[in-house]
Amino acid sequence: MTKRDWIKYAALFVLAVAAFGVAALALMNPRGAGESAPVASIPAVTPAATATPTATSSAPVRQPTIELPAEPVLLILGDSYTAGDGAGRPDQGWANLVARQLRYPTTIDGAGGTGFAWGGGAQDELDGEYETRLRQLAAGPAFVPNVLILQGGQNDAQIQDADEVRTATTQTIEAARRFWPGIQVVVLGPSAPQPLSEDLRTVNAAVRAGAEAANAPFIDAIEAGWFTAGNSPGFDFDGAHPNAAGHAHIAEKFLEAWDALVG
């Protein structure tokens, strides 16, 4: 091949390369020079709605209150605590201290060894259950209370069936309302210096359940911790009853709870 032939073929090769490049550009941008290819739009992503948990009410069940009559006449009925055992003198018992503080006309009826379901005696044979004693009081027309505080439960711990104690508590409250229509009833559950108070938790729960079933306010000395390991030595009389200081302590705590009930 001559030199002229080499130059000719080289020129043809350059033209072919140039044509190939133009074709490639056309394929890559078919809309023509100067016109931008559209940019694919990305759909907006809407976040999925997050479910907000519905708040559930964890408020405790509201404690019933009482409406004091214009002229309260008070009956406090209970066991040996209400009788003032361990205080030295009956007038130093918690019930007498409360009565003096409230200044209502008051009758105090305390009988050792009795309860809502336990009638007293070694074999529960004395028929001193609270309902029975309320019926006896109601038979005398001279005394008509319109406020009743039922204290106790310690002696009911001798009954193995908690449902029996619960039922007796409810029935006692309902009986009082039949005997004296309109009477306001408050239940003060069992209380005792440590370590006895720890042994009373089961019967305390039964008395509380009975009061709740009758829609009566329940003052819970056990769960409120009126007697602790720290204060019990100074408040204990004989392992089962409080001394005079212990009775004063019960009266103080009771009056605090009472103020909340009568608001």
Full DSSP string of 191-236 = --STTHHHHTHHHHHHHHHHHHHTT--EE-HHHHTSS-TTTHHHHB
- 122 part of a folded domain: yes
Q: How many CB atoms lie within 10 A of CB 68?
A: 16
pLDDT of 3 above 60: no
The counts of H helices and E strands in the chain are: 10, 5
pLDDT over 70 percentage in the chain: 76
- 24 part of a folded domain: no
Instruction: Say how far residue 253 (Cα) sits from the centre of its chain.
Output: 19
139 is in which domain, residue-wise?
74-262
- 149 part of a folded domain: yes
- pLDDT tens digit string along 20-32? 443 443 334 444 3
- pLDDT tens digit string along 58-81? 444 577 889 999 999 999 999 999
- pLDDT tens digit string along 143-154? 899 999 999 999
Cβ atoms of 184 and 146 within 8 Å: the answer is: yes
Say which range, 12-26, 107-121, 179-193, has the weakest mean pLDDT: 12-26
Provide the whole-model pTM. Answer: 0.77
The number of folded domains in the chain is 1
What CATH number is associated with residue 101? 3.40.50.1110
- pLDDT tens digit string along 202-223? 999 999 999 999 999 999 999 9
